[in-house]
Amino acid sequence: MTDERNFRSSYYEKVGCRGVEEKKSLEILLKDKPWDKVKLKQFCLRFTVPAAYRNLVWKVLLDIIPVYPDSHQFVMEQRTDQYNDLLYAVKMLQLEDMNAHRSLILLQMWLLDNEENEPPYWENRYCSYDTFMPIVKTLLELYEDEVDVYWLAKNLTEVVKQMQKDLPKLKESFQSMLEKEDGDLYNHLLDVNALEMLPLTKWFNCGFAGILDDTSLTKIWDKLCSGAPKILSFVAVMLVITLRRSIMKAHSVEEVLKCISEIPEQYEEVIAIKAIELWQYYGAQPQNDQLAKK
């Protein structure tokens, strides 16, 4: 137990969770006018964003607010007006019971905003509902301001939508990395015909929302917001490796799927931290991990 605590503590510090110097470095970046988005991305790729600044940094990285701090209040007022207009429209058109869970109301607002009736990218089994709903539910747990939640969910969903063309490469990266990191586990999954049945599409298309807990997800989404979707492949690798003991005892696809659907709570943070460490070890790169160039 002591070894595990020391192990986790070292990883926490490496990804900046307890790094006072990292917080100071971010504060220095935020004193620039305008903010340098490239430097902000580089910071997020290297460290974990301090919780006190995460909402603000994500909104800049996702183009919800501009890099000009003096314009933030005005732009968020406009975003709030748009939010209220959509909320009013959902109410007047009776698209959803206004006493329903807020995620359902925000979903209808998002569908109305995007004029979306059918999910695109059928070839990749991508469904906008399966992306937006887990993400917005997670954000509702993280933030109280529903205006922020709506815009973050909307733009994170757009990130996933743009990521669809890279799904085959993300899956290929997962398999090659798993074989390299744990050949025995890789071969076992092959032997029981489970490798191709792992829910990678589901995991990637929700950014692991609903799969990992909120604290773990924020670390992963720091990278996703910074233009590094390949981090998701490493999360999938570490999820499977972390659960290897139970997976190695599985003798069928059904048993494997049951194993990975029951992630012990104490493993979730470890999965995220080890995934980031592995990703950085193999040379993390921004700008969509340069997947398009490979």
For domain 71-162, which CATH number applies: 1.10.3720.10, 3.40.50.2000, 3.40.30.10, 1.10.8.680? 1.10.8.680
User: Per-residue pLDDT for 85 more than 90?
Assistant: yes
Q: What is the dihedral of CA 23, 26, 27, 31, to 10 degrees?
A: 170
Q: Encode the chain in three state secondary structure.
A: CHHHHHHHHHHHHHCCCCCHHHHHHHHHHCCCCCCCHHHHHHHHHHCCCCHHHHHHHHHHHCCCCCCCHHHHHHHHHHHHHHHHHHHHHHHHCCCCCCCCCHHHHHHHHHHHHHCCCCCCCHHHCCCHHHHHHHHHHHHHHHCCCHHHHHHHHHHHHHHHHHCHHHHHHHHHHHHHHHHHHCHHHHHHHHHCCCHHHCCHHHHHHCCCECCECHHHHHHHHHHHHCCCCCHHHHHHHHHHHHCHHHHHCCCCHHHHHHHHHCCCHHHHHHHHHHHHHHHHHCCCCCCHHHHHHC
Q: Which residue has the higher pLDDT, 17 or 271?
A: 271
Q: What is the pLDDT of residue 8?
A: 46
Q: What is the pLDDT of residue 284?
A: 65
Angle 37-46/51-61 helices, nearest 10 degrees?
A: 130
Predicted model pTM: 0.87
At 16-45, the pLDDT tens digits run: 445 677 888 999 999 988 999 999 999 999
User: Per-residue pLDDT for 150 more than 60?
Assistant: yes
Domain boundaries, the chain: 71-162
At 110-133, the pLDDT tens digits run: 999 987 655 454 445 567 788 999
Token output for 114:
């995007």
- The mean per-residue pLDDT over the stretch 269-287 comes to 84
46 contacts 219 by C-beta, under 8 angstroms: no
- Range with lowest mean pLDDT among 6-20, 81-95, 230-244: 6-20
